[in-house]
Chains A and B, each alone.
Chain A
């Protein structure tokens, strides 16, 4: 009888402890914030919220903030006479987009090349240039004033070097890839060098995280 009583008491104590622990774990989980993925260049929790801008796309149509909304946009700033970093990055873009297409995840993704040399990069030049990498890519240009409505708020610095006797000049520009979410917020600045695999991996993590934040 005494033995049964002891067992009963122990059972009650164990049950209460387990119940208490369960409540504790549940409460802790409820309070635990969802941490942003540890990705270099991620601006969360302070993403840059873009204001409206006005540029011209490769089809001579206006391209503004509303054209970024509803899509994940990868942006790179360069110029078509750039022989090394720009085609390297656009080749990576091509690979990223192709892989996302294969995974059927490209419907709400757009790859955008923004010219910081609009004097030489006409709409037709941009059209032919981006189409070489992928027909779905977007090339943005317009006047320097137009371009600056986007570059200034994104903190993109660029400068035109002195022209050679032949009239050629180089343009110093950002080497990073910028990821803008469907709300028009700059979420991540991805530093060079880039690989398609890394970009896709980071994009998957970021996308899942942002989705959690908004659900």
Chain B
């Protein structure tokens, strides 16, 4: 089973079909990267992770060949002031869905190799505890009102 999970990203990539990922109890969907001004050194990505299993899952790391590094952050507004809180990992309880959405939890993607335009696809690799990995294709989209 472990071997299957390890080679799953490769199989998914080779298949050319990866709008979302899943391995038994974990699924990643609605993954998108916001198109940013060409000079922006930091981009944001949003997604939904669903844990349909009976054990907690832990997202520990995300990386991509298109960025130098990726961090998990949350935008918080307190007393009309915006700050960001870094998270080293995200735990998702059994039978729970966790959403990264604009103005809340998001992935910070540093130093894009190229700016990227709406419609482009970029692979992100999600590393969960217990050596579970997914490679998921993210679509770059323009932000709409309040996105």
How far is B41's CA from A80's CA once the two chains are assembled, in angstroms? 8
A128: contacting residue among B38, B69, B73, B144, CB under 8 A: B38
How far is B43's CA from A175's CA once the two chains are assembled, in angstroms? 19
A168 and B110: CB pair below 8 A?
Answer: yes
A83 and B37: CB pair below 8 A?
Answer: no
Flag whether B84 is at the interface (Cβ < 8 A).
yes
Which residues does chain B contribute within 8 Å of A193, judged by CB atoms? 103, 146
Flag whether B39 is at the interface (Cβ < 8 A).
yes
The 8 A CB mask of A155-198 against B (1 = contact, 0 = none) is 00100000000101010111110000000000001011111110
Which residues does chain B contribute within 8 Å of A131, judged by CB atoms? 37
B81 and A175: CB pair below 8 A?
Answer: yes
Flag whether B137 is at the interface (Cβ < 8 A).
no
**Residue of A84, A170, A172, A191 most packed against chain B (CB within 10 A):** A84
Flag whether A50 is at the interface (Cβ < 8 A).
no
A88: contacting residue among B37, B38, B102, B109, CB under 8 A: B102
CB distance from B63 to the nearest CB of A (A): 14
Flag whether B40 is at the interface (Cβ < 8 A).
yes
A83 and B81: CB pair below 8 A?
Answer: no
How far is B109's CA from A194's CA once the two chains are assembled, in angstroms? 24
Flag whether A54 is at the interface (Cβ < 8 A).
no
Using CB atoms, name the residue of chain B closest to A128. B39
How far is B75's CA from A91's CA once the two chains are assembled, in angstroms? 17
Using CB atoms, name the residue of chain A closest to B115. A132
How far is B75's CA from A192's CA once the two chains are assembled, in angstroms? 12
B147 and A129: CB pair below 8 A?
Answer: no
Which residues does chain A contribute within 8 Å of B42, judged by CB atoms? 81-83, 168
Interface size, chain A (Cβ < 8 Å)? 34
CB distance from B69 to the nearest CB of A (A): 7
Which residues does chain A contribute within 8 Å of B144, judged by CB atoms? 91
Which residues does chain A contribute within 8 Å of B108, judged by CB atoms? 83
Flag whether B2 is at the interface (Cβ < 8 A).
no
A176: contacting residue among B80, B84, B146, CB under 8 A: B80
B37 and A192: CB pair below 8 A?
Answer: no
B40: contacting residue among A80, A85, A92, CB under 8 A: A80
How far is B38's CA from A4's CA once the two chains are assembled, in angstroms? 90
How far is B103's CA from A191's CA once the two chains are assembled, in angstroms? 13
Known: A87-B34, A128-B39, A132-B38. A189 touches B146 (CB 8 A): no
B80: contacting residue among A82, A128, A175, CB under 8 A: A175
The 8 A CB mask of B41-52 against A (1 = contact, 0 = none) is 111100000000
CB distance from A77 to the nearest CB of B (A): 10
Known: A85-B75, A85-B103, A92-B145. A174 touches B39 (CB 8 A): no
The 9 A-B residue pairs with the shortest CB-CB distance in the complex, in nearest-first order: A132-B37, A175-B82, A83-B44, A172-B83, A91-B143, A128-B39, A83-B42, A129-B37, A84-B75
Q: List 24 A-B contacts (CB under 8 A).
A: A80-B37, A81-B40, A81-B42, A83-B34, A83-B36, A83-B40, A83-B108, A85-B77, A87-B44, A88-B103, A88-B143, A88-B146, A91-B143, A92-B146, A128-B38, A131-B37, A132-B37, A157-B81, A170-B84, A173-B81, A174-B80, A175-B80, A175-B81, A193-B103
